[in-house]
Structures are given as structure tokens and as C-alpha cells.
Amino acid sequence: MSSLCRRVALTVLVAVLAAPSPGSSQLLVPMDDAQENHLKAYGLAYKILEAEERAEWLLNYRDGSFIIPDMPAVRRMAALMGVAVEPIGPAEIARIRAEIESSNMESVPLERAPRVAVYSPPNSSPWDDAVTLALEYAEIPYETVWDAEVLVGRLSDFDWLHLHHEDFTGQYSKFYLTYAGTEWLREEVERNEGVAAEFGYPSVPELKKAVAREIRTYVEGGGFLFAMCTATETLDLALAARTTDIAAFFADGSPVDPAADRTMDWGQAMAFADAALVHEPSISAFSDIDGHLVNTPQRLPLSSFTLFDFSAKFDPVPTMLTQSHVRVLPDFYGLTTSFRRSRLKPGMIVLAEGGGGIAKYIHGVYGEGTFTFYGGHDPEDPQHLIGDPPTDLELRRHSPGYRLILNNVLFPAAKKKELKT
């Protein structure tokens, strides 16, 4: 939908929502097994906020349900999206609030639809981005930005930014080892080199390091960052590398003891520290941050990962990010699949861990903003390979792995509450 058409549709929706329903005063959007489409339920909540109406997120109540206004237009919209809603009157609302007050639950007001950006090159890559799939399926609008937009300050236009499989070390994820000569890789190289030249950077690694710094500045100033797969690891490697010639630095072939490594300044990184770099150019891995060592001879098999339980009243942020109707989820690979706990900086919150204590899903604060890193490429495709067809979310509309992504999208909409301590 074009931006003009969307503005017109939104104007109509706001006008229609202004007419109250003669029935119950609220609608409950259940997020337990009674929900017919968990993923589109997030989209319904987003549309309410987009229409400048208020909503509530009931943390830990029926697996993270929502309360939204009961209006004819909302009921029609829910029916069209296939989202289950339950009318609740004043007595039921009072009962829910009493249960929340006396249990490990919390009600968080949602105030404003966050402005969403996805960092992605102008021409889509030959493999899918799980977050883009989630946004489109849930009918949540977003804009794409890439290096040029980042470097000219466009990130300030957005509340929430997603990064996926970009390699911020400028090595093209070492895909040249197996995909040299392919049309899509040739186009990617030309595209990156063109932007580097346009902005006066002598190499793609120097361009990517500058972009990484702008992203860090965005978070420091209050932005919400969400990253998956390669972007989680390589963003911090680019930030920490003292040299801008990162690609040559990684490919010099010499092993480095992280305790004696003077080429990395981990104080510049956000999430990780003291990682040992993979300098061998024939191994398409970057460091030992990845707990699964995916592209090395020591690759670990997949198992499952478990979401931690947090106190909804005292830890509302990690509670929001882990809302799900399933607590143990099947694991899935990515170029960066997980995170070794020994490589996490102090203060990082582990939201979920896999076998052997490997962190799968982590959250941190940087400056005035926050960042959340989710290892792996596609929650519903454990072994996703380049060229595989995109995941059909209509067949996976109850996906707990994709729910974690959408938790992050709504997170910036939450009104910050004073802690009870």
C-alpha cells in the first residue's frame, strides 16, 4: 500500500473508531491457545495504536493478552484478520485487574504506534528476512533504510530499527568462499562499493564501520534496536575493531589470544567482549561469540531453547520481550546462531538459553536506548539455506519464535512505568 493510500485508510479508521460500541466497553485479545492467529493479533494491536487509540498489554495474563477498545470497526477488523477477541464488561475487567494485582502479572499501557525501519539493501537478497516476513504478515507498516539513509541521519525518523544478515565487517559474510561468481553476490559487491565511493570511504569495511557507529549513536540517543543472525555479532566486531581495514584484519591468518589482543577495543562494543577472532579466510565464521560455532568443524547440533520467567512487576521489559504461549522452543541455525555467555558484557540480560547454558536471546541498555539480539535466521526454518523459499506464516500463525520478534516491535509503544522499589 502506498503511503498516501495508507494515510487515507488511517484517517477513515480513526473516524470510524470514534463511534463507540453500544455493547461491552472493552475487547480482550487472548494470547493463549484460544487465539486463532497469534501473529496477526500484534498487527491488530498496532492498528489500534496507529488510529491513536489506547491499548493495554497484560503481561503474563493468558500468555500476554491485550485489551483494546470495543467498537464495531475493531470487531470487523479483527474478523477480517482472523484474530480472536472476547467482549469483556466492567465486572470481568475488574476481575482481571484483581488477578493481575495479586499475581506475577502486570498491565502495561500502549500509547503510540512505533515508527519501524528495516535495514535492508535496495534490492532484496535471495533469502528472506524473518522480521520483514513477520511485519508484512501482521500488517505492520515499515520503511527500509540502508547505508545512505543511515549516514545522512534518517534513523532519527524511527523508533525501532531492525538488522538481520548484514555483515558489518565488510566481508560479505565470507560468502565469496562458496558463492563467488553468482549474480546476486556480484550485485551486492557493486552496490556496497558504490555507496562507499559516494560517501568518500576508501573501502566497504570502512563504510560499514561508519554505519555501525551511526547505529550505536541511534541507540545511545534513545532508539530501540533489534537484530538477528549475522548482524548481532558483526555489529559489535565492527565497533570494537581499532582498525577500519577490518576485512584484511580478519584475513591475516594469525591466531590471536583475546586476552592479548590489542587490535580490539571492547569498550566500543555494546553487547560482547573478549571474543577470539576467526582469522582463517576458508572458515566462514567471524569469532567465537557464536555458541554453536556454526561454520566451523566444531558445529553443535540444534536442540531447543527456554524462555526465562521474569517478575512482571519488577522486570516489565524482559517480561514483555518473552511473552509467549510456549516456553520451550525449537532452536534454529543462522550464521550466528547463539551467544556464548562468557562473551557477554556485564549487565546483559539473558532472555532465553539453549543447551549447555548458551544464550539464544539477550537484551541490553546502551545510553538512553536498548538493543535486543536474537540468534539464528528464521524461527520456523531450522536449516535455512540461500535459495530456500520464504516461510509461509499463514501455515505458522501460532509460531512462538515469531512472537518473540513481534514482542520487540510493540515494545517501544509501552508507557514507561516507575518501578515499585
> Is 112:416 a contact under the CB 8 Å cutoff?
no
The rounded distance, in Å, linking the Cα atoms of 384 and 16 is: 43
The rounded distance, in Å, linking the Cα atoms of 289 and 296 is: 12
Beta carbons within 10 angstroms of residue 222's beta carbon: 13
Each domain of the chain, given as residue ranges in start order, spans 3-110, 116-413
pLDDT tens-place string over residues 83-125: 999 999 999 999 999 999 999 999 999 999 999 999 998 866 5
pLDDT tens-place string over residues 2-46: 444 454 344 444 444 444 444 458 999 999 999 999 999 999 999
HEC sequence for the chain = CCHHHHHHHHHHHHHHHCCCCCCCCEEEECCCCCCCCHHHHHHHHHHHHHCCCCEEEEECCCCCEEEEECCHHHHHHHHHHCCCCEEECHHHHHHHHHHHHCCCCEEEEECCCCCEEEECCCCCCCCCCHHHHHHHHHCCCCEEECHHHHHCCHHHHCCEEEECCCCCCCCHHHCHHHHCCCHHHHHHHHHHHHHHHHCCCCCHHHHHHHHHHHHHHHHHCCCEEEEECHHHHHHHHHHHECCCCHHHHHCCCCCCCHHHCCCECHHHCCCECCCCECCCCCCCCCECCCCCCCCCCCCCCCCEEEECCCCCCCCHHHHHHCCCCCCEEECCCCCCCCECHHHECCCCEEEEEEHHHCEEEEEEEECCEEEEEECCCCCCCCCCCCCCCCCCHHHHCCCHHHHHHHHHHHHHHECCCCCCC
Q: Which of 156, 267, 268 is nearest to 218 (CA)?
A: 156
Beta carbons within 10 angstroms of residue 264's beta carbon: 24
Cell of 255: 591466531
Residues of 119-141 as b/e, b for ≥16 C-beta within 10 angstroms? bbeeeebebbbbbbbbbebbbbb
pLDDT tens-place string over residues 390-419: 899 999 999 999 999 999 999 999 976 544
Which range among 33-37, 223-227, 258-262, 414-418 shows the weakest confidence by mean pLDDT?
258-262
Taking CA atoms, 172 is separated from 93, 234, 266, 318, 342, in Å, by 53, 11, 22, 32, 26
Q: Whole-model pTM?
A: 0.89
Mean pLDDT over each residue of the chain, to the nearest integer? 86
Mean pLDDT of the 211-229 span: 97
Residue 385 reports pLDDT greater than 90: no
Q: Which of 400, 343, 406 is nearest to 372 (CA)?
A: 406
Which overall architecture, per CATH, does domain 116-413 show? 3-Layer(aba) Sandwich (3.40)
